[in-house]
Amino acid sequence: MIQTKSKWHQWLTNQLGVTLIIALFCVSASADLSVLSGRSHTTADMVKTQTALLLDLGPEPAKALVNGIPLTINLNVLLVKESAWPWHINAAEWQYPFRIQYHALSNRYTLLQPVGRKFQAFTSLYEMLSSISQVTLQEQIPIGVNQTDPIFIQVQLELDRRLLPGPLKLAALFFPSWQLDSGWQQWQVTR
């Protein structure tokens, strides 16, 4: 009886240990999507934004990519109009999806740029991610935003988990290694 109890205890300890290690691994895995900096200014009726990004998928998404899972990284941009109220008004919202994929036959990482639908192939993931570290965007200022309105830009970089294959969506729901999100960064739009 005591032996059985100790076996159970040992089994439980092992399971807990493995779970803890996996959890620590998931948390400590160096995955990072960051919006490092950015600036925006208006020219005529256009708003031009230049932003510096840092993309590091981490081992698990990278492994999925190599195994043929296409990933989409969204660059979400909000044009926000300041108001006297405690909340602000979203004047416009744009999304720029960077679709990345691994091509096994050519051993290349391909990138479909959102701007101009430009298709590129890279020999390494790092090279591909580095290619989108500097992004320049230009969009028309929407109607309703006057020249004198104080506006600012909010930028967020995220892994689009909705476009993952079904079974992986569940893992993305539970495991932090799949929850890649830079959070929102914002800056004033200079006139």
Among 81, 91, 171, 185, binds other proteins (CB under 8 A): 171
Q: Which string of x and - marks every residue 46-75 that binds other proteins (by CB under 8 A)?
A: -----------------xx-xxxx------
Tell me if residue 6 falls in helix, strand or coil.
helix
The DSSP result for 66-91, as a single string, is HTT--EEEEEEEEEEE--SSSS-EEE
CA–CA distances in Å: residue 55 to residues 32, 46, 47, 121 = 6, 27, 24, 17
The minimum distance between CB 79 and other proteins, in angstroms, equals: 27
Distance CA 83, CA 123 (A): 47
Residue 163 Cβ vs other proteins, minimum distance, rounded to whole Å: 9
Cα separation, 61 vs 180, in Å, equals 10
Residue 21, interface with other proteins (CB under 8 A)? no
| Chain residues 149-168 in contact with other proteins, contact rule CB under 8 A | 162, 165-168
Residue 85's CB is within 10 A of a number of other CB atoms, namely 7
Using CB under 8 A as the binding criterion, the count of chain residues that bind other proteins stands at: 29
104 near other proteins, rule: CB under 8 A: yes
15 binds other proteins (CB under 8 A): no
Burial class (CB in 10 A: 0-12, 13-18, 19+), 159: buried
Least distance between other proteins and beta carbon 33 (Å)? 20
CB of 44 or CB of 104, closer to other proteins: 104
161, 172 Cβ separation under 8 angstroms: yes
**CA nearest to 54, candidates 39, 72, 36, 73:** 36
Q: Write the interaction track for other proteins spanning residues 119-148; mark x where CB under 8 A is met and - where it is not.
A: x-x-x---x---------------------
**Candidate residues 44, 116, 117, 136; the one interacting with other proteins per rule CB under 8 A:** 117
Q: Footprint of other proteins on this chain (CB under 8 A)? A: 63-64, 66-69, 102-108, 110, 112, 117, 119, 121, 123, 127, 162, 165-171, 173
